[in-house]
Amino acid sequence: MVRKRPYVCGIDAALDVVGGKWKVLILWALSTGTKRFGEVKRELPGVSVKVLTEQLRELEADEIVTRHEYDETVPRVEYSLTEFGRSLNEALGPLGAWGARHRARIESLRANA
Amino acid sequence: MVRKRPYVCGIDAALDVVGGKWKVLILWALSTGTKRFGEVKRELPGVSVKVLTEQLRELEADEIVTRHEYDETVPRVEYSLTEFGRSLNEALGPLGAWGARHRARIESLRANA
DNA sequence: CCGGATCCCGTCCGATACTG
DNA sequence: CAGTATCGGACGGGATCCGG
């Protein structure tokens, strides 16, 4: 997700932040509130620990999520959206609505291919 | 861009359509009207002919763009958005605005990394 | 429980050369 | 002009093992 060329337009820049395979889903999972690592993982069927960790760290570097590590005997890490992350999530709203509305159509196109 | 798992949410489905490296930029280029292959290519600095062709074909299969081939002595192919494609483009509007608004911030985060 | 480290593989993508 | 064909490299991402 490191861009070598200058951004052509705003969407270009936005997708550089949210372009990872699981990032929008992480955003989506965290939109309902703070969650522990394991909780996030459970909401993303199929993601590996390594990749989830990587993408969370990248989102953290982009100031989209914050990471809170609790120093207890039982390891516990919580993630939540920043204000910046919430604004990104709102900007994704219409796209999500579009996808939800046309989901069946997309799936049927995929099926015929 | 062929999905093996079921879509988790609408954004998931939308990104399956628009997830290619250059697809949103193609959408963006075609949003101002019909364009020839070479014109589209000129607006996407760095894209290779092969990849541009591939992504245009995928968008065509997803009914996002239409392809019009003219049978003239000089080869000429024009691409334009479908109604479906225009609706997708509108859904991308807020995300583009978000990216444009925070573009400088994103770039500076990238620079420090 | 939450990762870090390592290995490995598929695919995505770019460069080049060639064609109608 | 608008592609097709082929090759090679880079990168994303999964599996597994190990550590605090």
Cβ burial, residue B13 (10 Å; 0-12/13-18/19+): buried
Task: Tell me: pLDDT of A67 over 80.
Answer: yes
Query: 10 Å Cβ neighbour count for B57?
Result: 12
The answer to which of A61-70, A87-96, B7-16, B93-102 has the lowest mean pLDDT is: B7-16
- Which CB contacts under 8 angstroms, 24+ apart, belong to B51-56? B51/B21, B51/B22, B52/B22, B52/B26, B55/B20, B55/B21, B55/B22, B55/B23, B55/B26, B56/B26
Check if the beta carbon of residue A69 is closer than 8 Å to that of residue A77: yes
Footprint of strand D on the protein (CB under 7 A): A 1-2, 20-22, 46-51, 55, 75; B 36-39, 49-50, 53, 56, 67, 69, 74-78
Contact between residue A12 and residue B26 where contact means Cβ atoms under 8 Å apart:
no
* pLDDT grade for A6, boundaries at 50, 70 and 90: confident
pLDDT value of residue A1: 61
pLDDT value of position B1:
61
Q: Is the pLDDT of residue A49 over 70?
A: yes
Backbone phi, psi, residue A87, to 5°: -65, -35
Q: List chain D nucleotides near protein: any atom < 7 Å from a Cβ.
A: 1-6, 12-17, 20
Find the residue in A nearest to B87 (Cα): A98
Q: Which residue is nearest to nucleotide D15 (CA to C1')?
A: A48
Mean pLDDT of A22-38: 94
Alpha-carbon distance of A17 to A2, in angstroms, equals: 9
The pLDDT assigned to A61 comes to 93
Q: Residue B113 has what pLDDT?
A: 61
| CB pair distance less than 8 Å for B113 and A2 | yes
Per-10-residue mean pLDDT of chain B, 113 residues long, equals 75 89 94 97 93 96 96 92 98 96 91 71
- Name the DSSP class of B76: E
pLDDT, residue A4, reads 66
Residue A46: pLDDT above 80?
Answer: yes
pLDDT for residue B62: 95
pTM: 0.91
Q: Any CB–CB contact under 8 A between A93 and chain B? A: yes
Place of tokens 């990032």: A23
- Tell me which DSSP letter residue B32 carries: T
Residue whose tokens read 């290779």: B48
